[in-house]
Amino acid sequence: MSDTQPRLHLHDSRTRSTVPFVPLAPDNVRVYYCGPTVYDLAHIGNLRAMLTADVLVRLLRHLYPRVTYVRNITDVDDKINARAHANGESIADLTARTIHDFHEDLAAVSILPPDVEPRATHHIGEMQDMIRRLIESGHAYEAEGHVLFAVNTYPSYGALSGRTPDDLIAGARVEVAPYKRDPGDFVLWKPSDDQTPGWDSPWGRGRPGWHIECSAMSQRYLGESFDIHGGGSDLLFPHHENERAQSMCCHPHGRFANHWVHNAMLLVNGEKMSKSLGNFLTVRDVLRDTPAEALRLLLLRAQYRSVLNFTREGLNEARQMLDRFYRALENLDPMQDPVPVPDSVVQVLCDDLNTPRALAEMHALADTAMTGDSLAAARLKAAGNLLGLLQDTPEAWFRGGAKVDPTHIEHLIAERLAARKARDFARADEIRNDLAAQGIVLEDGPQGTTWRQA
């Protein structure tokens, strides 16, 4: 990062304050995000976490010479087992299909892939090594085929989520197993029967608990200490709290994650998303009738730590905002060389990823570009690139998704022009109205008639 660039400030969940981001090694900023448990399509709540990571990593890559971004895949889990059984398919087929769908959905919304995407089932050995070390150091114990982490051996347990020991017990979501020494102890390894995926281990055939996966994979690819760990606020407790505890106890001289980033939850029409409420939306549900950039922009209109209310009206507003940005890009000189991202946009993004203010800066650029200023249009394009927006040309944006053959539309435009010259205004209006009914808008200008999708 150069001396002239703004300093990045991020809210740290552990300290519950916004602080300057100071990388452990400026020549390689290391980031870990919790990825999907692959048993179903990604929903828009999942997407918000992945988009937060995408904006953060894009900004870090703008500021620093190298960023290593790791996002895991959980492909061993009881939910996966249950879904595969319900579907009558193998776990391998279910996870392969779901991973493919996840990648496809994220690519549609211009979310860049991570540098490394480890799968849990490929790192069982690293997990077993961590568990063995925790047992040897007195932080874990065996009980009835299970291995559990003893929370009372880590005095800082609860510090990340800000929970007291009483809160931790009251917040337990499962019945306390009789083999636990303490109600808050959590599973590192559990036994598997013949119908359940399992691996041989010193504690019998079994499979890992959820929390140990991320500790093992982050250590494998980023080391005992790395810069940023992120995910949705729903992961703060117990998942991230447990990750931190076991990692710090396994590697007491490391720092594990130096900085914690969590995005807030997402509502749909003012309510928590739930299948029982009928407002559960997958990414694919939304993209059936909405351009992917409009969905991305809608999520960017709220700062990542603010609760976002997803509505169809909001999607329409996002699409109209993109219409305006693409109108401004029509003034971009095709011979204009690429320009740097405007400092004003970088500055507000460095203020804890303030995407609403970044969009406001883009509106100001669009205002200037619409006066015919090609440089402002180029700066708008550069700002959009940093945010993963404005990836189309104006022509592709306005004509995207049209259900009518473009050649046929051009033929009708020529027929309409001939009708107007012949003063057959009824026929000219009929052509315009027929196209409008198909979602095609005609716009007459000094250079002739153009068309776009409504």
Any known ligand binding at 317? no
Task: Map residue 49 onto helix, strand or coil.
Answer: helix
Q: How far apart are CA 113 and CA 165, in angstroms?
A: 38
Which has the closest alpha carbon to 50: 118, 104, 112? 112
CB-count exposure of residue 366 (10 Å: 0-12, 13-18, 19+): buried
DSSP 65-102: S-EEEEE-BB---HHHHHHHHHHTS-HHHHHHHHHHHH
Which residue shows structure tokens 């114990």? 141
* Residue 123 assigned ligand-binding role: no
| C-alpha to C-alpha distances, 9 to 353, 354, 395, nearest whole angstrom | 8, 10, 38
Residues 6+ apart with CB under 8 A from 26: 1, 64, 65
Residue 148 near residue 157 (C-beta atoms within 8 A): no
Q: Which residue has the tokens 């690139």?
A: 385
Is 243 part of any known ligand binding site? yes
Give the position of tokens 């810069």. 227
Tokens representing residue 171 in the block: 């917040």
DSSP tag of 121: G
403 annotated as a binding-site residue: no
Question: What are the DSSP calls for 94-119, one per residue?
Answer: HHHHHHHHHHHHHHHTTPPPPSB--B
Token readout for 449 is: 């008639």
Tell me the C-alpha distance between 104 and 196, whole Å: 29
Q: Go through 33-66 and write b for each residue having 16 or more CB atoms within 10 A of its CB, e for each that does not.
A: bbbbbbbbbbbbbbbbbbbbbbbbbbbbebbbee
**Pairing mode of beta strands 17-20, 9-12:** antiparallel
State the sign of the Cα–Cα–Cα–Cα dihedral 221, 226, 231, 236. positive
Structure tokens at 156: 């800082």
- Is 239 annotated as belonging to a binding site? yes
Long-range CB contacts (within 8 A, 24+) of 94-102:
94/38, 94/39, 95/38, 95/39, 98/36, 98/38, 98/39, 98/40, 98/41, 99/38, 99/73, 99/75, 101/41, 101/42, 101/284, 102/36, 102/38, 102/41, 102/42
Binding site for Zn(2+): what residues are annotated? 34, 214, 239, 243
Binding site for ATP: what residues are annotated? 275
Binding site: what residues are annotated? 34, 214, 239, 243, 275
